[in-house]
Amino acid sequence: MIKKQRLTIRNVQDYLTKLEQCQIDPNFFTSLAYLYLSKVQVYSFQDWMWMEDDEWIVLPPVSDKVNNKALSWNKPIWAGFLNHSIEGFKIGSFLDWQFTFDPIHFNELGGKYWKVYRKNIRKYPTRNGSWEYVNTPLNNEALDLVNQWVGEKINDILDVELLYSYALEDHTKIGVHKHYLYDKSQHLIALNIWDENYRYINFRYCIVRPDIPFLDEFARYLFYTHPEIQQQGKLVNDGGSLGNVGLERFKDKMNPFKKQQIYSLNPNKL
């Protein structure tokens, strides 16, 4: 019998543990913080677990028992995994790109492929002078910064409510990390937000003052070169482009370690 479970941190952790045991390569939506804050519905059957909302299976069903028989699924899966096929489903429509970066590559930025990005990250500090990049806020300007950025980037945001929760609330206990960038007058101009899973650091948001040229490039550079990111030895999943050609080109110029396609999945009977 299929059982709908109450959403808890423990249930989400159990799902992530099954993925790790099965050596499944997690996609950008696979983290304790993302799933818990998205308020997904947790379902189980025998040793299977999966996540749903009203219309989709959000992330694929997974079981760490070899002989478990798959159910007869009747809902599509919103985002499949790159290295894992699921019995009862077939490839559906293209969902988004997945850009993966190696933080170590940002230490030297040598060679012609880094020429544009190397040039652009120097422009903000050259034109604006001193700055400070810290892990605790110096003032209460975060809401104003987020409002400005959302006003400019609304078409590039998958879930505005989720963004505000990540940016403005304290979710340290479920693995949300933040760093704040201040200008020489100690005004907040950028906010980097990330979480993790067992394989990747997920770079959730780079929120910047939209009226400052080349600030986005510089803020991302600070994220990738910070010791807290460098010392973990993990790749960074920087998400996709949400159909925005300009954003795709921007990330292409950062020379991703991998650029892969994520697909939705459909039940075989559809």
Which letter does DSSP use for residue 102 in this model? -
Instruction: Say which residues have a Cβ less than 8 Å from residue 110's Cβ, sequence separation at least 6.
Output: none
Percent above pLDDT 90 for the chain: 79
Structure tokens at 153: 């980037």
What gap in Å lies between CA 203 and CA 179, rounded to an integer?
Answer: 12
Structure tokens at 109: 């930025």
pLDDT category at 3 given cuts 50, 70, 90 is confident
Structure tokens at 222: 């600070």
Instruction: Say which residues have a Cβ less than 8 Å from residue 39's Cβ, sequence separation at least 6.
Output: 7
CATH class of the domain whose range is 98-258: alpha beta
**CA geometry: angle at 107 spanning 104 and 108, to 5°?**
120
Q: Residue 60: helix, strand or coil by DSSP?
A: strand
One-character DSSP codes across 154-190: GGG-S-HHHHHHHHHS--GGGT-EEEEEEETT--EEE
pLDDT digits (tens, 9 = 90+) for 187-231: 999 999 999 999 999 999 999 999 999 999 999 999 999 999 999
Structure tokens at 1: 């019998």
pLDDT digits (tens, 9 = 90+) for 123-158: 999 999 999 999 999 999 999 999 999 999 887 788
What gap in Å lies between CA 147 and CA 205, rounded to an integer?
Answer: 14
Show me where the domains of the chain are located: 3-97, 98-258
What is the value of pTM for the model shown?
0.94
What gap in Å lies between CA 113 and CA 44, rounded to an integer?
Answer: 47
Structure tokens at 205: 């948001």
Residue type, 190: A
What gap in Å lies between CA 208 and CA 88, rounded to an integer?
Answer: 43
Which letter does DSSP use for residue 106 in this model? G
